[in-house]
Amino acid sequence: MRIAMVSEHASPLATLGGVDAGGQNVHVDALATGLTARGNDVVVYTRRDSPRLPDRVTTPGGYTVEHVPAGPPSEVPKDELWPFMGDFAAYLAQRWGENPPDVVHAHFWMSGAAATWAARRVGVPVAQTFHALGVVKRRHQGVADTSPADRIEVEAELCRSVDLVVATCTDEVRELVALGIDPAHVRVVPCGVDTTLFRPRHAAPHHPPRILSVGRLVERKGVADVVAALVGLPEVELHVVGGPSQDALDLDPEVERLRAIADEHGVGDRVVFHGGIAREQMPEIFAAADVVVATPWYEPFGIVPVEAMACGRPVVGTAVGGLLDTVEPGVTGELVPPRDPAALARVLGELLADPERRAAYGKAGAKRAAAYAWDDVAKRTEDALRDLVLADHSEVVPR
Ligand code: UDP
């Protein structure tokens, strides 16, 4: 199949760990690579955010990235990109008018809006993966939510207009049904993990015990709750990976906030910030952890817990979003309520005191993570997209 993937802000070529560069970038890259390996011709359309970028790039994964001129050719926070989506959609319509793909897979709501508009003009079916939902973000962030006001309505409209929503976890299906989607129009395909990179490996024993948090440094990832939990975990060190590179950490507002919270709790000397780390080094980082924590307030999927499991590490997570599917309590880790440092401290304390249980969880985690191998996820996505192509009854909407 000729597959057009649209990922307006999350370029598969971007450096990870920044405020807007995380799981979606990894997802789009790995999925495009997996679909290419299965014999499809894949082009990823993403916004040009630097004048130095070439129009088109062939990636190591064998697929093409096309940089779409929409808005200034500089970095723009994703929540400020909505006004440029008209230009993005017009570009797609022009390109697809010349050479239509068989199917479009859009990632994130703005991509969905631009892709649907353009695809309808050439009669091509559209699958949508939201990655995150505006209603959930609004519920948790309230007035701190910087998403454009239209987001929730556009997402509800996409639920009605796209040919298929590919949800990444069962909790998302529940949210989509509440938004009014016909359950027949949703299929769950989880995010994947690179099981060739993320594998169990031996790490030299170390003291003091080390817990690890990995991810973009944004408040909703709940790192502050782990910092607070350290009060109940004497000696234990928290290692935080993510955010800008180490030399720029002092300028990062979330690092400053977390350091202040750590000092307030008297645990500042036990919290180590590593900054953003290249993906290739992540397996080593996971291997050096006794327990990996993933404690978001909410989480559309959460690749980090699966990467940790693939590396044979036990995971203590919050019982939200994708973690409800990926972490099996009492088998691969434990789940605690979000924003509950006391529960976190108790569960972490018990697990850190029990090396046998940690080893058993790690082993079970590695086994469970195999079900999230990208080959398999790419195949399941390909099946979903092929069904759309075979069943395609889309009509061309006149311009
Ligand atoms: N990541 C990384 N280096 C960092 C921080 C994060 O490679 O310094 C990767 C991490 O391994 C994972 C992704 O970024 O693959 C984060 O994905 P997740 O779904 O957990 O969170 P999101 O960023 O999408 O909210």
In a domain, 7, yes or no: yes
CB of 17 shorter than 6 A to ligand 1: yes
Convert the pLDDT of each residue in 106-156 to its tens digit.
Answer: 999 999 999 999 999 999 999 999 999 999 999 988 999 999 999 999 999
Going from the Cα of 399 to the center of ligand 1, the distance in angstroms, rounded, reads 40
CA–CA gap between residue 208 and residue 316 (Å, rounded): 18
Per the DSSP assignment, residues forming a β-bridge with 273 are: 240
Asked whether residue 33 falls in the same domain as residue 151, the answer is yes
Going from the Cα of 191 to the center of ligand 1, the distance in angstroms, rounded, reads 12
Neighbours of 170 (CB within 10 A): 13
Going from the Cα of 87 to the center of ligand 1, the distance in angstroms, rounded, reads 29
Which atom of ligand 1 sits closest to the CA of residue 191?
19
Asked whether residue 245 falls in the same domain as residue 303, the answer is yes
Which atom of ligand 1 sits closest to the CA of residue 22?
23
Asked whether residue 143 falls in the same domain as residue 216, the answer is no
282, 313, 374: residue to mutate for ligand 1 pocket, most atoms within 8 A of CB: 282
The pLDDT assigned to 314 comes to 98
Asked whether residue 19 falls in the same domain as residue 116, the answer is yes
> In the structure, how many helices (H) and strands (E) does the chain have?
14, 14
Q: Which residues contact 172 (CB under 8 A, 6 or more apart)?
A: 130, 133, 188, 300, 321, 322
Asked whether residue 93 falls in the same domain as residue 232, the answer is no
> Helix or strand or coil: residue 39?
coil
Asked whether residue 112 falls in the same domain as residue 236, the answer is no
Structural domain count, the chain: 2
CB of 303 shorter than 6 A to ligand 1: yes
Asked whether residue 247 falls in the same domain as residue 130, the answer is no
Per the DSSP assignment, residues forming a β-bridge with 278 are: none
In a domain, 142, yes or no: yes
Task: Give the domain extent around 249.
Answer: 210-371
CA–CA gap between residue 8 and residue 6 (Å, rounded): 6
In a domain, 203, yes or no: no
CB of 244 shorter than 6 A to ligand 1: no
Asked whether residue 229 falls in the same domain as residue 347, the answer is yes
Q: How many residues can be counted in the chain?
A: 399
Asked whether residue 386 falls in the same domain as residue 263, the answer is no
Pick the closest to residue 162 from 210, 79, 106 (CA basis).
106
Q: Kindly report the CATH number assigned to the domain that includes residue 91.
A: 3.40.50.2000
CB of 68 shorter than 6 A to ligand 1: no
Asked whether residue 155 falls in the same domain as residue 216, the answer is no
Convert the pLDDT of each residue in 324-376 to its tens digit.
Answer: 999 999 999 999 999 999 999 999 999 999 999 999 999 999 999 999 999 99
Per the DSSP assignment, residues forming a β-bridge with 292 are: 212, 315
The pLDDT assigned to 18 comes to 59
CB of 300 shorter than 6 A to ligand 1: no
Asked whether residue 161 falls in the same domain as residue 274, the answer is no
Question: How many angstroms separate the Cα of 249 from the Cα of each of 253, 255, 369?
Answer: 9, 7, 32
Asked whether residue 247 falls in the same domain as residue 127, the answer is no
Q: How far apart are the first and last CA of the chain?
A: 26
Going from the Cα of 86 to the center of ligand 1, the distance in angstroms, rounded, reads 29
In a domain, 140, yes or no: yes
In a domain, 160, yes or no: yes
Nearest-CA residue for ligand 1 atom 3 is 277
Query: pLDDT of the chain along its 399 residues, tens only?
Result: 999 999 999 999 986 555 566 778 989 999 999 999 999 999 999 999 999 999 999 999 999 999 999 999 999 999 999 999 999 999 999 999 999 999 999 999 999 999 999 999 999 999 999 999 999 999 988 999 999 999 999 999 999 999 999 999 999 999 999 999 999 999 999 999 999 999 998 877 778 999 999 999 999 999 999 999 999 999 999 999 999 999 999 999 999 999 999 999 999 999 999 999 988 999 999 999 999 999 999 999 999 999 999 999 999 999 999 999 999 999 999 999 999 999 999 999 999 999 999 999 999 999 999 999 999 999 999 999 999 999 866 667 765
